[in-house]
Chain A
């Protein structure tokens, strides 16, 4: 039969796309995504949402609109919670409702409600009812779910080896044809020294225990990833803290990862750190942070600021992001206390100009480079 499910390339696409794609394809559906974020997509989204909405939510609306006419279903999951006693953000909890009210005449919305905050029962129900939209067979749903989980595990390992989502998806063969530049970028990165060193260390990731986390580093990013001192000779390493849908969206972030790499800097993002490290570091805050991504950012920020593995910590956030307004404050205070690692915050919104961001990145790289010299 092969109907088409559209997945907007926004928000937690960057965390879960391989899983979602595997799930729907195992159920016999074709999967399309919207293209990369463009000015037109952002403008379309900003037009239908209220002014106060944050940039990523506006971008998401734009991607939904971009999928109209290209698919029979649009996957807009209600991601309430992906772990016990924690949420993602209130806006994720109301996302399908916002889409329904703001976007008229769009394909059927598949709004699976993922809520693992209390029990797994709701999650099982959500997977089942989503599967039932496409097949009558429970076994098929189960198999699709297993394949989806396996895809997610493979993808997460790639991220933790130092790849960005685009690179990881390209390596996994998930990139759409329009992503050809990414493939070449990956090939180039794989051949460059620092990247291959971080990449080759990835095979041992799954077996890393907490004791080996402090083992002597290779160099650059790989060291920072392991949690050991990585700032020796070699490249400048920057720890980049930010929501995945901000820092990995080339349009929203003004291509921050690529820009930094082009300036000769190795980039370690919060998603490249193993959960063990971010959880341990986030526990330094007196209260458990009840946003999953927020806690990861806090833990990553603390790690970058305290462990001596990076030469600078850059926080990139979207204007009006609720969790980050508080997380950023805590990180800033930590940075001011330790005074060891330069810290900068860049806030992006729909009016941000590339030149302004670039100037700040260059200045920050200068600071890091100068600080390194004795």
Chain B
């Protein structure tokens, strides 16, 4: 029976590594040729580097292909063919969907897709959802504002493709969404970790509904690294009495990775559809071995309207040495996306990844889910202020919590912090991507 298959594609997902690599190389050649022939932007980039399709024979050759930065995509947009610019590889009339990036790191980038690209988006998500146990008969509630951001749009189409029943939670507010989940007995949900926790908080503290007593049994998270941060995952799973799975993707890339039901402490890269390379943050050298963090350079091997070829994604990842018990031969990235190269910054000479702070805060009982990190330099020395919320009833344990927090922060991040305790509900709440890390040093 179809539903018994643990894999969306039992052949591709278990392909021996050498055949998988052969597939990636052949597909890279194909997409490089496509971009070289159809995009003036890519052609001039490659001409300037003196590289043409015939030069790509090995993975070493691929490393000579110039990377594309997000700022380059910003520079061409607004030009002809309007509004995308000359990276567009198809006639404008073949573009069937517009999306744009969230603008977290600057001016939003426009993304054109053809109908085939949308089929491809949904196909990538089909790998994800099937691996996370979605099956025909699941009733999937999607509580996001269906709009210009790609977010869970493709998750919606993929769930339909799988044979699930999709309930679009569009413009409903949080309370109405919770009531709809309860009313329809939805079995699965997709949201950012911030919103998964926020919904649970609203259900419990404003509506008197225990989310763990609802019927959601699996949740797919995206948009933030929380589902791969053990303490955040634990909080979400306990709150909803559901399995929580991570996934990472991006508007200009596609849905490139997913956590499977084995929950191996990392995410599989869909290597049949994407080529992921990891570059050393300092030297730019390609990292092949497990255990060394670097930034991701990624190629979407089958995306056509606006190709994504060696895109400098700035996600910080590392290969995992383990082979997943699920049987997939797709490599794992350990702990998911551990940060952004832009966010991993030196404070007092020490590299600080905000995800490490989240792991500590959410691992301490008595602290709320929300926190905020502010780095500034009032004199000559950096200062990190960590704002946290005390849960109701934890007020008389401040000293104990403070000591625990200081110890754990020192252990996990090797830094000292100025701690601020706030009443529950005082820190900002976010519905989509949270902005909890603020580096004010550039303003001084």
Indicate, yes or no, whether A interacts with B.
no
- Chain A positions within 8 Å of B, measured between CB atoms, are none
